[in-house]
Structure 1
Amino acid sequence: MNQRKGMARIIAATGYSYKGFKAAWKHEEAFRQEVILLLVMAPLAFWIGDSFTEQVILLASVVLVVIVELLNSAIEAITDRVSTDYHKLSGRAKDMGSAAVFLALFLMILVWGIKLYQLLV
């Protein structure tokens, strides 16, 4: 077994990550939508955040959505790799992944909603 170490491992991991981003962009509409959301909201986070901490929290809430979407897409891909036939465990795994994305989106809306409320009051 060829175990890469040091810088070679980091370079290989970067390549795998690139392939993951590329696959998600090509095959997952939700991922594309959330990346576009990130690209729009990132500058807004720096504009409306009153401190570095607020800016980081606003930005992190959007990045978290993208991270969870990648994990959900990975769960869906591996589940479909095993079988595209319906199975209750496969359905459960996909539903749990979807619930995780829902919670990440809820958190983002909550964080941004609180900040926007503060700006308006």
Structure 2
Amino acid sequence: MEWKIIDSLACPSTGTAFSIATSSKDIKLILWYKDSYFLRPGNIISTQSPEMLINGKPRDLKIIHAFPYDSQLWTSILHKTDCPGNIKAFHQPCANKRGCLFKLCPYGMKLYTPESVEV
């Protein structure tokens, strides 16, 4: 079965992410996962082989839980994740002062430091 990613959110306080995946039969799930790979809209997850494939390449995606999609649940997750990249209107560098457990920012931002501010 193939699943297309239609939206994703990062949760810096846990180092995990959430994605909405939809099947060809219009079944929607919210995937809660941990991986060094951040799923982006348009990515395709294939579960037809013994391995999980993302865009045709094997990945070791660690799915923590899958929920049936619910717009209120998705909105709640968005408001609780506290990642500037999730609102799609972030500015460089990242101003998340609460700490982030991602080794690499899923959105490609650099952590705010006094040295990162251009004068």
Greater helix percent: which structure? 1
Q: Which has the larger radius of gyration?
A: 1
Greater strand percent: which structure? 2
TM-score, structure 2 normalization: 0.27
